[in-house]
Structure 1
Amino acid sequence: MNRTTLSLIATTTALAAVTAFAALDGPSASGAATPEPAANLPVQRTSLLCPAPSISDIADTAYTSFTPVTRSTPSSGKAQLQAADAQTADGTGNSGTGKGSKAAKGSKGGKKSADKPVLTPKAPGTPVTGDTSGADAPALIGTADGKFAPGWTVQETTEVAAGTGRGLQGVNCTAADTDFWFPGASTATGRTDYVHLTNPDDSAAVVDIELYGKDGAIKSPLGENQTIAPHASKPILLSTLTDERQADLTVHVSVRSGRVGASVQALDDKAGGDWLAAAADPAGSLVLPGIPKDATDVRLIAFTPGGDDADLKVRLASPDGLITPAGNESLHVKSGMTTTADLGAVTRGEAGSLVLTPTDQSVPVVAALRVVRGRGDKQETAFIPATAPVGTRATSADNSAKGTTLALTAPTAATTVRVTASAGSEGGTATTKTYTIKSGTTQNVPVPAPAGLRGSYALTVETVSGGPAFASRTLTATEAAVPGFTIQTLPYDRGMVAVPKTTEDLSILQK
């Protein structure tokens, strides 16, 4: 035999042995055996990516890291955030260590060098905070393993006192992925919108950015083949990708090779600004939870990426049930075109969430809300993307004794949820309350702040029984009469994973 034949036999034998050892339990030939259900176990590793927080020299940014306590986790583990390289639009940037960027201060205030962890949590169940200031704070790349991995959450919150985007901006650091939809971006005069792309891996990522306006796809060859260097972050100003100025756009970020984290920073010259997180995957029915009760203007932005138009029934889940907004009973979304609906002060002083369902044929749609509080030159803006249900558990970090609102929505059936407020970052005792939300309603529930709270705390929401629950958390901070606020949704944290049972099965070698 030649060398190739010998190698092939050796490889085949090795694969057969491995397969035999790790074969899944399954029914025997007689059908007598029944497969055992997969075990639901904590994830062993989690990665998160935080975008560079601000372009303002007077920005103050706080980071809060939190891992909820999870059963059956290892006794060891660690979590840390480190500075990514800054990469400019022309592909230049730092060399790979993050040096040269201003890293955040640690939870005890001392400045850390850029190549050391920004945050190092001590134990699950207690938040850890850090802060930074100015326009040169870097994007961060985070990893957690062992006991810190299941449900690890990091919140980035920035206050900007004046100028473009002034107000409160907040974003949950996100996992890397290959496909993102952002309905609600803009290239209009007075808007400065960046899409931030962060690559956590050792090889470059190649990304396409597609823009869709009211008339369909916008030609944007400059959005194609964007290269994101390893361990680097790249902000891309949307108005540099096209000459068209449109108030409402849908941005599609698709990754040709590798993976990235993606977020859009939407800044307005007069109406503040916030981060626009990626919307939930295209679906026929969508929930956008937690519109502030004092919202003065709400705009719905929707887009369908398929070949069919979508017709949606628009309803508001109020504290008393599902109602139809006057004049906005339905929305027709043309295929490939960004469609909007101005809902005005739709909540009318009460808690509310928007529920979109197909009127007939179900067509996948992505959607987000642009929400304004205040009036005139005291306006501030935030966004609510369509989101996934809370599921088993979801967590929101960086809550304070005042200024936190938790909205819970049960769009299809009554649901019971358990809400746990963690210990404070500087002291306090965790506390838990259970709430039942009636079908078709939204409730702003009393937040169970920790006893003896010092510092910030995290809220963990768990579905106990009933139908799917949707949630969002609003932070408010009024400064100079401007009602600053930011809203983050609470989708399932994917802290658990189904692991099928495996046993040794040597009989496979005889087949």
Structure 2
Amino acid sequence: MNRTTLSLIAGATALAAVTGFASMSAPEASGEDRAEAAAVLPVERTSLLCPSPSSSDLAETTYTSFTPVTKGTDGEGEAELRAAGDAEATEDADAQDAQDAEDAEDKDSKKDKPVLAPKEPGKPVAEDVSGADAPALVGTAEGRFAPGWTVQQTTEVAAGTGRGLQGLNCAAPDTEFWFPGASTAPDRTDYVHLTNPDDSAAVVDIKLYSKDGALETTIPDGITVKPHSTEPVLLSTLTAEKQTNLTAHVTVRSGRVGAAVQALDDKLGGDWLTASTDPAGSLVLPGIPEDATAVRLIAFTPDGSDADLKVQLASPTGLITPAGHETLHVKEGMTAAVDLGDVTRGEAGSLVLTPTSRSVPVVAALRVVRGKGGAQETAFIPATRPVGTRASSAENTAKGTTLSVTAPTATAQVKVTASAGTEGGEAATKTFTVKKGTTQKIGVPVPSGLKGTYALTVETVSGGPVYASRTLTSAQGDVPAFTTQTLPDDRGMVKVPEADEDLSVLQE
């Protein structure tokens, strides 16, 4: 066998050993041609993290998991949520099983069962937990359960600081988060919950910015979050300053975490403040309830330049400018806040922020209050990404759910699907048209024969972009308890470039 043949065999063996080894088509092809050649395929793995829901003994928490049915997935896969510490325990048990096969069955029986494990896409599954001991959860979905997987965590607290309804969509781990709307005011108790899903420790920095700029904090060396654990950090322990409006910037030096702010007020209830979308020149904050009695806009720019923003409300009839609040000036490195009052004036709306001249990236959130006097409740609406291809929201009820959809720049058509219920019912679908510059309070379809709660899936059919949020309401005596979650694109589909084998890499 000559040297050339040996080289060819070795090269072919190396090529076969690398799955998907390929090259793009001709290098002279344009970017547009390459984009058209890309296949859109379902993601194969999704991770979600849920923070510890409450420290109140009166807390009642529901977790609801849902994966929309996605074309292109096979029949394999699974999804489960486990207590953050259980993930490590399970991995240790698995390693021991491999070392001692005879004890495998016994060890498996001792493993903690998952808090939640859905059985099939298209049908939500829920689990209730009571009291203050509910742990942070780490979730993983694979195969047919991965594309668009969403988990809703909703907690009802009957009394005390933060009483009301607190809800959030459990989020994927990341390395940077912006939270305009945090506070260290005397009547606020704000925690940043940091959850580490990985096998190694994460080191996290938290910087706080007030109306006067960066605050000096007590953690110059960062916060260490142990593997498979959660760390609630009380913001008021990081600085001696009492500031009503802050922007918290969470960055990860090593590893990755899930992060969310639990904002609890002595008089105004409380809710989860989730991260604003990445800094951008234009932002949309969708779904202010029509009966909001107070709305506060908090914004921050990290860009190194001041930002001047045009403030508009996308109402059911079109874009309007709030009287007296036509623009907002945001100084570089300083948190700006403005009280917009009852800006909706009895009609559901969404806030649209655009640059007045030069575009400067900003982050923003709304603090929304419903009710009056001693019967007030708070929720937060961060700036969010568009719905894009598809977005879902779990744990909807027949009478306590409101869906708001905004099309700020172009008329759009959206398809809304209500899934089967957690305990029974058949899915229902409707299509709606949202006119340019408006916010529509959608009459969501309710599954026929509904038992339990259901999931909503919103898909962009044409036009757009569209932005959406879902509000849950629950009366607690005179308190109009509510919580709002935005519906950004679920990123359940990814573009995978078409590839061809290129045998020219084989060397003679």
Distance in 1 (CA, whole Å) between partners of 2:150 and 2:406 is 22
Q: Which runs of 5+ in 1 are unaligned?
A: 1-10, 87-93, 99-111
CA contact (8 A) 1:96 1:232 kept: no
Per-residue deviation, 1:508? 2.4
Per-residue deviation, 1:504? 1.6
Code of the residue aligned with 2:56 in structure 1: it is S
| CA-to-aligned-CA distance 1:150-196 (integer Å, 9 cap, x gap) | 00000000000000000000010000000000000000001000000
Q: 1:22 aligns to what?
A: 21
| CA-to-aligned-CA distance 1:57-115 (integer Å, 9 cap, x gap) | 100000000000000102011100000139xxxxxxx98579xxxxxxxxxxxxx9992
Q: 2:67 aligns to what?
A: 67
Instruction: Report SS of the residue matched to 1:356.
Output: strand
Distance in 2 (CA, whole Å) between partners of 1:394 and 1:137 is 27
Cα distance, 1:114–1:359 mapped onto 2, change above 3 Å: farther
Code of the residue aligned with 2:121 in structure 1: it is P
Instruction: Report SS of the residue matched to 1:144.
Output: strand
Match of 1:313 among 301, 310, 315: 310
Q: 1:482 aligns to what?
A: 479
Distance in 1 (CA, whole Å) between partners of 2:470 and 2:204 is 31
Code of the residue aligned with 2:505 in structure 1: it is I
User: Is 2:292 the counterpart of 1:295?
Assistant: yes
CA contact (8 A) 2:11 2:506 kept: no
Q: 2:372 aligns to what?
A: 375
Per-residue deviation, 1:203? 0.7
Code of the residue aligned with 1:482 in structure 2: it is V
Per-residue deviation, 1:223? 6.0
User: Is 2:329 the counterpart of 1:332?
Assistant: yes
CA contact (8 A) 1:20 1:509 kept: no
Match of 1:182 among 160, 173, 179: 179
Distance in 2 (CA, whole Å) between partners of 1:291 and 1:224 is 39
Distance in 1 (CA, whole Å) between partners of 2:388 and 2:81 is 27
Q: 1:91 aligns to what?
A: none
Instruction: State the TM-score, normalizing by the size of structure 1.
Output: 0.90
Per-residue deviation, 1:432? 0.2
Per-residue deviation, 1:502? 2.0
Instruction: Report SS of the residue matched to 2:379.
Output: strand
CA contact (8 A) 2:205 2:219 kept: no
Per-residue deviation, 1:19? 7.7
Cα distance, 1:338–1:464 mapped onto 2, change above 3 Å: same
CA contact (8 A) 1:209 1:224 kept: no
Distance in 2 (CA, whole Å) between partners of 1:296 and 1:256 is 40
Match of 2:402 among 401, 405, 419: 405
Q: 2:498 aligns to what?
A: 501
Distance in 2 (CA, whole Å) between partners of 1:354 and 1:465 is 22
Instruction: Report SS of the residue matched to 1:208.
Output: strand
| CA-to-aligned-CA distance 1:333-385 (integer Å, 9 cap, x gap) | 00000000110000010010000000000000000000000011100000000
Per-residue deviation, 1:118? 0.4
Distance in 2 (CA, whole Å) between partners of 1:30 and 1:71 is 29
1:118-267 pair list within 5 angstroms: 118-222=115-219, 224-267=221-264
Per-residue deviation, 1:25? 3.0
Q: 2:58 aligns to what?
A: 58
Distance in 2 (CA, whole Å) between partners of 1:146 and 1:441 is 38
User: Is 2:37 the counterpart of 1:37?
Assistant: yes
Distance in 2 (CA, whole Å) between partners of 1:442 and 1:113 is 52
Match of 2:112 among 112, 115, 118: 115
| CA-to-aligned-CA distance 1:437-457 (integer Å, 9 cap, x gap) | 000000101010101100000
CA contact (8 A) 2:25 2:500 kept: no
Instruction: Report the count of equivalent residues.
Output: 481
Code of the residue aligned with 1:503 in structure 2: it is D
Instruction: State the TM-score, normalizing by the size of structure 2.
Output: 0.91
CA contact (8 A) 1:414 1:437 kept: yes
Per-residue deviation, 1:290? 0.2
CA contact (8 A) 2:83 2:135 kept: yes
Identity %: 69
Cα distance, 1:465–1:257 mapped onto 2, change above 3 Å: same
Q: 2:76 aligns to what?
A: 76
Instruction: Report SS of the residue matched to 2:296.
Output: strand
Code of the residue aligned with 1:160 in structure 2: it is V
Distance in 2 (CA, whole Å) between partners of 1:29 and 1:468 is 32
Distance in 2 (CA, whole Å) between partners of 1:57 and 1:414 is 47
CA contact (8 A) 2:67 2:148 kept: yes
Runs of 4+, deviation exceeding 6 Å: 11-21, 28-31
Q: Which sits farther off after the overlay, 15-24 or 457-466?
A: 15-24
Code of the residue aligned with 2:406 in structure 1: it is T
Distance in 2 (CA, whole Å) between partners of 1:408 and 1:338 is 28
Distance in 1 (CA, whole Å) between partners of 2:497 and 2:351 is 38
CA contact (8 A) 1:289 1:489 kept: yes
CA contact (8 A) 2:25 2:499 kept: no
CA contact (8 A) 1:20 1:506 kept: no
| CA-to-aligned-CA distance 1:448-503 (integer Å, 9 cap, x gap) | 01011000000000000002000000000011110000000000000001111222
Code of the residue aligned with 2:38 in structure 1: it is A
Code of the residue aligned with 1:374 in structure 2: it is G
Code of the residue aligned with 1:370 in structure 2: it is R
CA contact (8 A) 1:84 1:96 kept: no
Q: 1:108 aligns to what?
A: none
Instruction: Report SS of the residue matched to 1:379.
Output: strand
CA contact (8 A) 1:24 1:500 kept: no
Per-residue deviation, 1:222? 1.9
Per-residue deviation, 1:38? 1.0
Distance in 2 (CA, whole Å) between partners of 1:265 and 1:373 is 18
Cα distance, 1:26–1:240 mapped onto 2, change above 3 Å: same
Q: 1:49 aligns to what?
A: 49
Q: 1:109 aligns to what?
A: none
